[in-house]
Amino acid sequence: MTKTERTYLDWNATAPLLPAARDAFVAALDMVGNPSSVHGEGRALRMLVEAARRDVAVLVNAAPANVIFTSGATEAANLVLTPNYRMGRTPLAIGHLYASEIEHPAIREGGRFARENVTTIPVTRAGVVDFDALETLLHNHDEATGLPMVAVMLANNETGIVQPVKAVAEIVRRHGGLLVVDAVQAVGRVPVDIEALDADFLILTSHKLGGPKGAGALVSRGEVLMPVPLIRGGGQEKGHRSGTENPAALAGFGAAARSATEEPAARNSRIAGLRDALEKGMRAATNDVVIHGAEVERVANTSFFSLPGLKSETGQIAFDLEGIALSAGSACSSGKVGQSHVLTAMGFDAALGGLRVSLGPGSTEADVERFLAAFSRVVSRRRAA
């Protein structure tokens, strides 16, 4: 391998920019004006923003009017995770947030809820929400404080495990609560339909789909029940998120959303084949590799594994020196590499952590072969140490 040859296997952190998204982004940069202006230039940009809104809505079977654009998933999470809501013009209190133990840090931090008003929902050793625990938590919820809110991700960013969100929704409905679903890692990989999931809100972001960074969305089920705005100002996004929209980033987001709806079954079947070959090769190289979540439903592109005696940080550096870009989990923690809260929640000894390989539409058999060759060398050095 030459020093410049690299293999990118970190699509869950960010997907390479799609050509269609790049073209849409660059074309929008050449357009002058403000999408809130009423002159021709402004109206042209408004049409571009609204076209992107329609594309994102189609991706999750939502009404375009229910798509609120943000700067990304973290902002969308902080917008929706608040005790302060309105039902039309009437204030509505949300008393407590219940978030699964395996949520992304953007959710685990609780948004605008006070820390004492955030409770974690346990998961099973298989990494799936514990239904009995959720039922108990909601049964014991103090209704005098306001409605309960439950946050459960559709696909885990580390393990790729798909959560039974529809079943979670049934429990939440019985207790009159709201359901927020982080669909960031799910869109384009499994069907995401806000109506079928029975979710009140979905969180999305552009760069996981192959769109530009700096664009995301909060998608609501309707227009009546909405959170009090996080960013106030000029009243853009129907007053839900003030600030001049970023037409270039949104144009790229829309293009990426359109691409995600094109033959997803065939695309994901091919990616699943690559992932399965990768895991088969790891097991052939060593019998002590642990692949987390392999016994339950996962998105097709993700493999999260541990090797006894290999720390996450050491492993990540070792693979990087081999020319392989992979991750130790979430990439949204300022470069920190530490214990996996997901493995801890699943009941594993997370002291050593795990490593995540994530594939995408551009991944190839050659990428898998290069990874497995590097994996064998890392395993051999670990044994010799």
Give the model confidence (pLDDT) of 63-114 as tens digits: 999 999 999 999 999 999 999 999 999 999 999 999 999 999 999 999 999 9
* Rounded Cα–Cα distance for residues 276 and 267 (Å): 14
Question: Percent of the chain having pLDDT more than 90?
Answer: 91
Count the neighbouring beta carbons within 10 Å of the beta carbon of residue 65.
Answer: 12
Q: Distance of CA 83 to CAs 93, 112, 201, 233, 344, Å? A: 6, 7, 15, 21, 28
Integer-rounded Cα Rg, in Å, for the chain is: 21
Active-site residues, by number, are 332
- Nearest-CA neighbor of 360 among 52, 2, 5, 14? 14
pLDDT computed for residue 334 by the predictor: 45
Tokens of 170: 């049934």
Number of H helices, E strands in the chain: 12, 14
Give pairs for 287-291: CB < 8 Å, separation 24+: 290/348, 290/354
pLDDT tops 70 at residue 331: no
Q: What is the mean pLDDT of the segment spanning 156-160?
A: 96
- Of 32-46, 78-92, 268-282, 350-364, the poorest mean pLDDT is in 350-364
Strand order in the sheet with 290-292: 290-292, 302-306, 355-358
Q: What is the pTM of this model?
A: 0.95
Are the beta carbons of 215 and 209 closer than 8 angstroms?
no
Are the beta carbons of 235 and 59 closer than 8 angstroms?
no
pLDDT tops 60 at residue 180: yes
Q: Distance of CA 226 to CAs 72, 94, 294, 373, 378, Å? A: 18, 11, 38, 51, 50
Residue with tokens 């493999």: 303
- Using pLDDT thresholds of 50, 70 and 90, give the confidence band for residue 1: very low
Are the beta carbons of 180 and 173 closer than 8 angstroms?
no
- Using pLDDT thresholds of 50, 70 and 90, give the confidence band for residue 228: very high
- Nearest-CA neighbor of 225 among 192, 201, 244? 201
pLDDT computed for residue 353 by the predictor: 79
- Using pLDDT thresholds of 50, 70 and 90, give the confidence band for residue 201: very high
pLDDT tops 90 at residue 340: no
pLDDT tops 60 at residue 332: no
What mean pLDDT is reported for the chain? Answer: 94
Which helix (H) or strand (E) is 94 found in, with range?
strand 90-100
- Using pLDDT thresholds of 50, 70 and 90, give the confidence band for residue 383: confident
**By three-state DSSP, how is residue 365 classified?**
helix
> Is beta strand 147-151 parallel, antiparallel or unpaired with respect to 216-220?
unpaired
**By three-state DSSP, how is residue 249 classified?**
helix
**By three-state DSSP, how is residue 371 classified?**
helix
pLDDT computed for residue 158 by the predictor: 96
- Of 20-24, 335-339, 359-363, 378-382, the poorest mean pLDDT is in 335-339
- Of 55-69, 119-133, 339-353, the poorest mean pLDDT is in 339-353
Q: What is the mean pLDDT of the segment spanning 111-125?
A: 97
